[in-house]
Amino acid sequence: MTCPPGCDRTRNGHQHRHERRRGAGTPFDELRSHARTLVFPGFLTRAEVVEAMLEYFDLTGPDDERRVVPVVEEAWRAREAELRAAEASATGPDDHARFEAAVADLARDTILVRPDFTCCSTCGHDEIGDERGPERRERGYAFFHRQDTERIPDGTLFLAFGAFGPWPEVDPGILARAYAEADTPDRAAARREAMDAWTTMTGQLVAGTLRRHGLDVAWSGSGEERVLVHLRDWRRPLPADPEVDGEPGGKPGGDTDGRRGLLGRVVRRGSR
């Protein structure tokens, strides 16, 4: 994954969790553990998991691909079995269903939410404006990025948020100073105060909506801190991959275990 200068990956020498480089000598247990981390949240297809594994561990040869593919298949089938068992014994909606319902409510409240969005917080805040609709009606936004997605198996989900503004609930006096014609220090301070208030209001709406849908939310109330959701039962369905499963919609094709199609897809991409 390549990030632009200034993102969390490059700032102060910080490295993403996905930047580990072990090469061909990567222990099998590490491959299995990371495959589960990528499969469990339900956002990546099998082919995408294989590609992410190859990048994460800096595996570049055809032998490496052949080593990774069955590991991903094992993790995929194990997760499918978990989901089937969980659905069979479920008595209500899971955390993913609750989250999706909250997202729908937030959209009606003009809050844009993007899951598994970009590589890090910095890139997410920089790029979220491009996701707004043509009428630019959205007042605020929330998202979690790829590193956050990888924490879902641990039962932890952080949501970043911010404001596009304006929120009419802000003190009219602050707004009047913020939009004054004269470019003064008072106007600059008022604009910062207004933006801080808009951001906090976004966080309040996001956290409150998630709680209303039954999610376990922890948040300090500060616009400087992200909203934390404690997950207990995440059952997002695994995505179908037509090139692996044979037909659109995930129906099996001629390759009964999907392995040949998956490996072929990865090799073709690597040869471009």
Strand residue runs (E) in 164-272: 216-218, 227-230
Return the H-helix or E-strand segment holding 178.
Answer: helix 172-178
Phi, psi of 154 (to 5 degrees): -85, 0
3-state secondary structure of 230: strand
> How far apart, in Å, are the Cα atoms of 216 and each of 98, 99, 203, 231, 269?
11, 11, 15, 7, 41
Same domain, 99 and 189: yes
Q: Is residue 242 part of a domain?
A: no
Specify if 237 maps to a domain.
no
Q: Are residues 220 and 113 in the same domain?
A: yes
Question: Does a structural domain hold residue 247?
Answer: no
User: Are 102 and 82 members of one domain?
Assistant: no
Which residue range forms the structural domain that includes residue 159? 95-230
Q: Tens digit of pLDDT for each residue in 201-220?
A: 999 999 999 999 999 999 99
The pTM assigned to this predicted structure is 0.81
Q: Are residues 108 and 130 in the same domain?
A: yes
Residues 86 and 99 in one domain: no
Residue 6 domain-assigned?
Answer: no
Q: Identify which has the larger pLDDT, 156 or 193.
A: 156
Q: What is the mean pLDDT of residues 20-45?
A: 86
- 43/158 same-domain check: no
Q: Return all residues near 224 (Cβ < 8 A) that are at least 6 apart.
A: none
Mean pLDDT of 153-175: 86
Mean pLDDT taken over the chain: 83
Confidence at residue 21, expressed as pLDDT on a 0 to 100 scale:
55
- Domain count within the chain: 2
Exposure of 261 by Cβ count < 10 A (0-12 exposed, 13-18 middle, 19+ buried)?
A: buried
Angstrom distance (rounded) from CA 117 to CA 103: 14
Shared domain check, 153 and 74 = no
